[in-house]
Amino acid sequence: MKKILLLGDIHANYPALKAIGKYIKPDRFDWIVNTGDFTVYSTFPNETIKWFRKRKKAVCILGNTDLRVLRILRGKKLKKPAKEEKRVMYFWTAENLHPENITYLKSLPEQTDFTVGGFRIGIFHGTLEDPDEELSPSAPESRFQQLARDSTFQVHIMGHSHVPYYKIVDGVHFINSGSVGRMFDGDPRASFAILKVASGKLAVEHFRIPYAVEEVVKDLKKQHLPNIYAKMFRVGKKLN
């Protein structure tokens, strides 16, 4: 049996990532998948990126927040987001990232794939066709059917929507582990999933665990960042 730890949308929330590591001991997994958005909205991007850098089993891609931070670092204009309270979080991240972590982000692809137990697994931030698509479990069945029809992958591991789910449509497995660091459903606990592959079968289990939210809140205040983010982490909702 092969075991894969599924993570995504950490958003620089290292206290949440650290809590998951303590809970499941990541070294016992064959792979650790990260569907992107290491950065932005919390104040621990360096600790978050370093956690993955030192793990040889990690398979990581970039998310939209990571790409925007890299855009800033290239000296390009940032078109989105438009709200100043969001933009300040991007520029704070770009100003505070360590050089070795910038180099690591630059080395990552926007999507990737690998094969386990005969299953070809695609890793996407949004979807195979659009990295910014927020594919939720309530999306029309026809959308999942189209993705299944157009895909050469038996498994799609996705992020971006921050909604944990597992669906099988036309024989294709769609898995979202939810957000490690910035949930939107009113439950502030960290979300992740474990994928098991054995004897030609897949099994997926989702988890929600508590973490030190006040550690995040304290550092946001220390860095004089917008108060709305402290509230969002406490209530587990997107408020802007």
pLDDT in tens, 62-90: 999 999 999 999 999 888 888 899 999 99
CA atoms of 113 and 132, how far apart (whole Å)? 18
Query: Residue 129 — φ and ψ, nearest 5°?
Result: -95, -20
Domain count, the chain: 1
Tens of pLDDT, residue by residue over 38-51, are: 999 999 999 999 99
Over range 50-60, report the average pLDDT: 95
Beta strands in 178-221 (DSSP E): 190-198, 201-209
Please report whether residue 156 resides in a domain: no
pTM of the model: 0.95
Contact call for residues 63 and 127 (beta carbons, < 8 A)? no
Please report whether residue 88 resides in a domain: yes
Supply the range of the domain harboring residue 226: 2-109+178-235
Query: Residue 55 — φ and ψ, nearest 5°?
Result: -115, 110
Please report whether residue 115 resides in a domain: no
Tens of pLDDT, residue by residue over 95-137, are: 999 999 999 999 999 999 999 999 999 999 999 999 999 999 9
